[in-house]
Amino acid sequence: MIKFSTKKSMFTRLALALATGVAVTAAGSSASAADKNNCTVQLIQYNIAAGGTLIVQCSDGVNYYAQVGIQGNGSGTGCGGTSMDSLKAMESLANAALLSGKTVHMAYSVCSNGINGFWAIDVHQ
């Protein structure tokens, strides 16, 4: 039979919660997370001159960017970069939405340079 000490377990949970709060606060950045729902993809562009950047434009005219780079680097944008394979997958999903007329949902951050840097995209039914 396993016996748990209530006081020790409660202390452990409290310490873990405190440590998590400190870690999240310390890891915070100037970018703020947001979501874009029901984006009707109007334009998809890959720009090699901009350091390997995928641009997805919604019908409301707002651009969302994903950039190749070392994770956490983001080439001065204040947002992390992604791998080329991830960028290809995101481009494929955006193309599927554009060609099918379906909408997408994107998770993004407003980066330190003011652009909307997205890191997740999914196609809606």
- Structural domains of the chain, ranges and CATH numbers in brackets: 32-123 (2.40.50.50)
pTM higher than 0.75 = no
Task: Calculate the average pLDDT of the chain.
Answer: 74
Model pLDDT, residue 30: 45
Q: Mean pLDDT throughout 2-6?
A: 47
Q: What are the φ and ψ backbone dihedral angles of 70, each rounded to 5 degrees?
A: -70, 130
Residue-wise pLDDT for 21-50, tens only, equals 333 323 334 455 677 888 999 999 998 877
Tokens of 31: 């970018």
Distances (CA, A) of 108 to 21, 56, 58: 22, 12, 13
Model pLDDT, residue 5: 47
